[in-house]
Amino acid sequence: MRFFFSKHIPPFDRVVIVESGSRQLLEDLLPGLYEIHGEGMTLDLVTCYAGTPKGFQQERGRVFRITEYDSREQVVRDVRARAHTITGIICANEPIMTKWKWMLAFRLPGKLFILNENGDYFWVDRGNLSTLVHFALFRMGLAGAGAVMTIGRVLLFPISLVYLLAFAGMVHLKRKARA
């Protein structure tokens, strides 16, 4: 994950996108990317889905299917060999390729952008630190109205656990005392 401390956006000529969410999100994104960045852009895709998304131009990119590899290291080696300047991941609140996308986000050299389920995206850099924090808090349930309930559950969990262990211990001690 290079360029975190820099707001500089490298040229959009070699892009890799990790399709870790609904295919519809990527199909909505692709035409705009091809239109805006022109013929010089090479767009590769890392996916777990069969087939290619609608609008993906195979002559201008390559598809890396994780099911065709034996290990994560092989995927990283093959994708890194393409020397991408931009890495995109889909964070759509769906548990699809979660470990893969974050592993690739940290191990690939391009500047990272995150695409959410609304089709919005933002760059992962110090200039968007407040957006990143809010995004992470929201995904963990610690933003908005759900924050109080989540914090309450976290605080009550140790108390509940101690109570249940004490109760179980008491029941077992009474059973032993009767025997």
- pLDDT band at residue 6 under the 50/70/90 scheme: low
* pLDDT tens column, 51-84: 889 989 888 899 999 999 998 899 999 999 998 9
CB atoms under 10 Å from CB of 10, counted, come to 14
Using CB atoms within 10 A of its CB, is residue 164 exposed (0-12), middle (13-18) or buried (19+)? Answer: exposed
* pLDDT tens column, 97-118: 888 888 998 899 889 988 888 7
What are 165's two structure tokens?
Answer: 């262990």
